[in-house]
Structure 1
Amino acid sequence: MPAAMPLRPKLLVLSCLAAALAGAAFLAFGARAADDQKAAPAPKAALTVTLTQAQTVRLPIRISANGNVAAWQEASVGTEANGLRLAEVRANVGDVVKRGQVLAVFAPDTVQADLAQIDAGVAEAEATLAEAAANAQRARELQPSGALSAQQVTQYLTAERTAEARLQAQRAAARVQRLRLAQTQVLAPDAGVISARQATVGAVLPAGQELFRLIRQGRLEWRAELPSSDLARVKPGMRATVAPVSGGAAVAGTVRVVAPTVDAQTRNGIVYVDLGASPDTKAGMFARGEFDIGASQALTLPQSAVVLRDGFHYVLKLGPGSRVALTKVGVGRRAGDRIEITSGLDAAAKVVAAGAGFLGDGDTVKVVDASRSAAAN
């Protein structure tokens, strides 16, 4: 029977065998990990996008303001006739009237009767003057002969002058009555639009009572309130665009005058803007508008490239490995589909042109050429 193997050599053999097996297992695991790493797919693109770069364009400089729409000038149309009855009203609120158009008529009966009486007095005064003139002429002819005394001649000449004065007074009274007769018709002092009416048929009105209120020539103006810091930048003749807050189409306007004073409490001044004709714009409306005061160069992006998150504006800038980085930017003016970038972006940087709202910081994107994308669509 062979002799038994010593214990120490046996343990040494077992240790070598175990080490060999562990090394083989490690090599096998490393090879498998390398194969797995080679087989791992690249990160999947979150979205297919097109890129754009900021462009320098010329943008208009505008100043925004608020204010009320008011009549350019209003005319108060009243009665000059005193104590007459209003017989007819021919105009109402909203009517467009011409200068000299009859708006209302007072009953003329009393004035016509007074005029007839005055005309009779004129005829009587004319007859009296004719008799006095004849007597005065005879007195002048007889004065050299001494047939009449100097006192009698003076009386005849004085009677002539008195009759002439009475005739002038009667004619003046007749003119007054004819003027009162003309005042029984209330005429429009200017062309425009009737904005208010107090006239009531049958009312007996005193002189000076307002019957109508008229927006002269139908012209409206926008009284914009501007801070004193902006007031000096607005000049007469500048263009403005005004839109009623209550809705309706915007209307073009032109600055007529800038108020020479500023309110001591609000530090605001008034800019008066003549408005064009618009059926949506009414006196008394509150409106917002902008003054076009010029233009300047600005770095701009399409508005679709800028997203608003948590009250701040961001763009998604393309980085290495087709990953996008969320970049905060400052924005300014807007014109059409362009928005001004005031800070936070280099002009050479490439950003996602559209769909930025669906991406997050660090997302991987697939970039396609904008012209090919448009052709495919």
Structure 2
Amino acid sequence: MNARLQPFVLTIAAALLLLGALTYSARAADPEPAEAPRPALTVTVVQPQRMAIPMRIAANGNIAPWQEASVGTEANGLRLAEVRVNVGDSVKRGQVLATFAPETVLAEQAQIKASVAEAEAALAEAAANAQRARDLQTTGALSAQQINQYLTAERTAQARLEAQRAMARAQQLRLGQTRVVAPDNGIISARSATVGAVLPAGQELFRLIRQGRLEWRAEVPATDLGRVKPGQAVEVIGASGSRLAGKVRMVGPTVDVQTRNGLVYVDLASSDEARAGMFARGEIEIGSSQATTLPQSAVNLRDGFHYALRVGPDNKVSQLKLKVGRRLGDRIEVLDGLPADARVVASGGGFLGDGDLVRVVQAANAASAPTPAPAQAAAPAGR
């Protein structure tokens, strides 16, 4: 290298090294800005709402007939000739259910008719003799004793005729008893009638559920009986899960000394799902009360406790421990632990933890949720 150029090259190299050192120092002094935290989840929020929740008493019991009628025979010693109905048949008042063989009754009736005719002839003869005795009473042709005998014979013949006519009416009634008829509208629930059987009077042939009406006999603790009144609405759930509407008809006047439960008699609406003898559970609506509620999707169950996630002004969630009560449809009553103005994560809280950042999206119906239908069952959350 030329000796004259060497100092100039060294000067340029030193300048480049100095420029690089200054650039590195500037970058070290001014670091890049940190990346902003990202929301963990996009959520919708809801606020607690006040609504009327029915107050109900839960009970268990059996479904039974409202009233049963025992249909038997009044005829004695007759053979059952025909049975026209079976278990489960609906019958009308006065409908013929069974018939007995009438031959014996008809023969006796013919015999009595002949006796009536004989008594009528005897009465006619006695009446004629008595009339002649009356006509001769003033002439002295007959003694007073003979006249009295003719008059007495007339009265005796009249009495015998009345007795025979009474027997004829009784026999006519017995002939009517050969037809067994339904005493009321209803459903045949039992049958013991067998064709060909010779039965004594009073033997039960059928059992009838009067008017097809069923009732639920709910066993209610004595402490709750005072709150149950006739006319209150009832929802009964059968063994198959079918729901039946009912109404309290009567509260039993006594309490069982063993169980300390009283019976509440509930009239049930007509339904093909209900059967006499079925076990059913239900709830008696005794009124309603105002309560603070949340959607059930907003309440999470963890370790046996109920929680909701509150969204703060900074869009961070905090966990609230709640005390809950009754359920109504898709809503749940909150008894304690929830501020009235709190914004709560509507759903998906199980994927969030305390302190997570969320992005809030206002739902179209979050501000005013519809009130559930009163016909849905309300029950304590712990059930």
Which TM bucket (shorter chain)? 0.7 to 0.9
Specify the SS of the correspondent of 2:31: helix
1:189 & 1:43 partners in 2: Cα distance? 83
TM-score by structure 1 length? 0.87
More helix per residue = 1
In the TM superposition, what is the alpha-carbon distance from 1:149 to its structure 2 partner?
Answer: 0.8
1:71 to 62, 65, 71: 65
TM-score by structure 2 length? 0.85
In the TM superposition, what is the alpha-carbon distance from 1:196 to its structure 2 partner?
Answer: 0.7
Asked if 1 retains the 8 angstrom alpha-carbon contact of 2:45 and 2:366, the reply is: no
2:366 & 2:143 partners in 1: Cα distance? 125
In the TM superposition, what is the alpha-carbon distance from 1:322 to its structure 2 partner?
Answer: 2.7
1:262: which partner in 2?
255
1:366 & 1:265 partners in 2: Cα distance? 60
1:216: which partner in 2?
210
Structure 2 alignment gaps of length 5 or more: 1-20, 368-383
2:89 to 77, 90, 95: 95
Q: How does 1:94-173 map to 2 (within 5 A)?
A: 94-173=88-167
2:55 to 36, 52, 61: 61
2:31: which partner in 1?
35
Asked if 1 retains the 8 angstrom alpha-carbon contact of 2:190 and 2:206, the reply is: yes
Matched, 1:284 2:280: no
Q: How does 1:293-304 map to 2 (within 5 A)?
A: 293-304=286-297
In the TM superposition, what is the alpha-carbon distance from 1:314 to its structure 2 partner?
Answer: 1.3
2:328: which partner in 1?
335
Distance change in 2, residues 1:140/1:222 (3 Å): same
In the TM superposition, what is the alpha-carbon distance from 1:372 to its structure 2 partner?
Answer: 10
1:186 & 1:310 partners in 2: Cα distance? 67
Specify the SS of the correspondent of 1:291: strand
1:195: which partner in 2?
189
Q: CA RMSD in A?
A: 2.1
In the TM superposition, what is the alpha-carbon distance from 1:321 to its structure 2 partner?
Answer: 4.2
In the TM superposition, what is the alpha-carbon distance from 1:309 to its structure 2 partner?
Answer: 2.1
Asked if 1 retains the 8 angstrom alpha-carbon contact of 2:75 and 2:177, the reply is: yes
1:313 to 306, 317, 326: 306
1:44: which partner in 2?
38
2:301 & 2:40 partners in 1: Cα distance? 20
1:83: which partner in 2?
77
2:345: which partner in 1?
352
1:372 & 1:114 partners in 2: Cα distance? 85
CA offsets 1:33-77 (integer angstroms, 9 cap, x no match): x837x32x3443221101111111122222221111110000000
Identity percentage over the alignment?
A: 70
1:199 & 1:360 partners in 2: Cα distance? 73
Specify the SS of the correspondent of 2:325: strand
CA offsets 1:3-59 (integer angstroms, 9 cap, x no match): xxxxxxxxxxxxxxxxxxxxx9xx98x958x837x32x3443221101111111122
One-letter code aligned to 1:297: Q
In the TM superposition, what is the alpha-carbon distance from 1:265 to its structure 2 partner?
Answer: 1.8
